[in-house]
Structure 1
């Protein structure tokens, strides 16, 4: 499953960058689709599986009389579930407006979240005897930094427009002073940190897929901003400060 995820990520990266195929939703949606969901409903019902599936696996493990979770399992489960508890249930309630999400894209997202929830949940349950060490702590700190950047960047994006305003503005503040995709930078840091802490192929595959999927989206946002705003800050990079 992890190898399939990595191959899918590389394929997605290739399609988005060399295929010049922007995401078919949000600001890149072309025309209206009769088969579409409201953005809040789509986001909630696609992301929630990344939370529900691992929680279900852990609950089933406990019901069947499995051993109590070890410290490392609690750490990894906490990192994964804290992110998706926020992204699944709080984030869509706080978001404002947005374009409808095509049903096909929603279905693909649902399938991925179920698949990844199963993969990461099984991986967490498979490491009962490991103890928390320096590598795990370094990974968790990197995860926390990424999560903080992601939360702050989302806050900036939510408050770009005043009530009643429409259209797009240049985001400013925080890591947006360095990159156009500050929210993507934060999420990539999160899952790279998680992969370091987990030290497993499934976690590395998820980090790889995340970079391959949202890295090109950050680059597309960067190009879009530069084309739309002639005075867009020239020192900003796409997703990696000072580099790319």
Structure 2
């Protein structure tokens, strides 16, 4: 399969525009899942574990399918970066989906997420497998710095999710003030970690497709972190005043 640069550019700029559109249209209300979900008679729900499994799966399957298409041999650097991308979604698909404690998830949100992970799986896979130039990956400091950011962010993300899961005992449905790790500094360290992952990935790959994904992620989960912060402040009178929403000491 040859490198289609025009398609890459269209998808990349489309992802940035989609992120900006989401940012604009969700200034006053967040995507309705998790704590922000509103039950209405017309809302179709699916089990949360099944929803997360199905919506994250295309980001792994599509890059694997692209690897089966005949193309020029790839160097270790490309496979390392593609493996890094897939590692995040392997965890989301096969581990996080089993650990999540939410009971229901809106069907329309799941379908929208599936469309996004399908497009993004193709975008990142096609770029790395067929277009990226990483001949000097062994000596490229951007790759090393980017991977350091990615895996640091992933560790923060996983630990923050662990802290959230263990706030409540089985059967409890009340909200509690999250504690542990970077929760000391921000209300949504899981989102902060994920932003570190994808901006690290963008630095490591040094390409428009990965940068557009990082920008989209910022537009999507950045406002959500702020709404989480407002939720905690409104629900708990003794919520730590020094705690920021997303970025320690800044935001």
TM-score interval, smaller chain: over 0.9
Name 2:8's counterpart in structure 1: none
1:94 corresponds, among 94, 99, 111, to 99
Partners of 1:226 and 1:94 in 2: CA distance: 27
Partners of 1:14 and 1:242 in 2: CA distance: 25
Partners of 1:83 and 1:100 in 2: CA distance: 23
CA deviation string 1:10-53 (max 9, x = no partner): 11111222xx0222111111124551111001110000111111
User: Are the counterparts in 2 of residues 50 and 116 from structure 1 also a CA contact under 8 Å?
Assistant: yes
Following TM superposition, by how much is the alpha carbon of 1:164 offset from its aligned partner in structure 2, in angstroms? 2.5
Q: Secondary structure at the match of 1:88?
A: helix
Partners of 2:54 and 2:186 in 1: CA distance: 30
Asked if residue 23 in structure 1 is aligned to residue 31 in structure 2, the reply is: yes
User: Are the counterparts in 2 of residues 42 and 106 from structure 1 also a CA contact under 8 Å?
Assistant: yes
Q: Secondary structure at the match of 1:240?
A: coil
CA deviation string 1:90-119 (max 9, x = no partner): 1111222x1421111111111001000010
1:50 corresponds, among 35, 44, 59, to 59
Judged with a 3 Å threshold, the aligned counterparts in structure 2 of structure 1 residues 34 and 15 are, in CA distance, closer, same or farther, namely closer
Question: Following superposition of structure 1 onto structure 2, how do residues 64-143 of structure 1 map, counting pairs within 5 Å?
Answer: 64=70, 66-96=71-101, 98-125=102-129, 126-132=131-137, 133-143=140-150
Name 2:170's counterpart in structure 1: 163
Following TM superposition, by how much is the alpha carbon of 1:130 offset from its aligned partner in structure 2, in angstroms? 2.6
User: Are the counterparts in 1 of residues 78 and 134 from structure 2 also a CA contact under 8 Å?
Assistant: no
Q: Could you list the structure 1 runs, at least 4 aligned residues long, displaced by more than 4 angstroms after superposition.
A: none
Gaps of 5+ in 1: none
User: Are the counterparts in 1 of residues 30 and 36 from structure 2 also a CA contact under 8 Å?
Assistant: yes
Partners of 1:24 and 1:86 in 2: CA distance: 23
Q: Secondary structure at the match of 2:26?
A: helix
Name 1:205's counterpart in structure 2: 212
1:188 corresponds, among 189, 195, 198, to 195
Following TM superposition, by how much is the alpha carbon of 1:131 offset from its aligned partner in structure 2, in angstroms? 1.9
Gaps of 5+ in 2: 1-10
Aligned alpha-carbon RMSD (Å): 1.2
CA deviation string 1:39-79 (max 9, x = no partner): 0011100001111111111122xxx2x33321220221121
User: Are the counterparts in 2 of residues 195 and 207 from structure 1 also a CA contact under 8 Å?
Assistant: yes
Partners of 2:119 and 2:142 in 1: CA distance: 27
Following TM superposition, by how much is the alpha carbon of 1:128 offset from its aligned partner in structure 2, in angstroms? 5.0
TM-score by length of 1: 0.94
Q: How many residues align?
A: 237
Name 2:222's counterpart in structure 1: 215
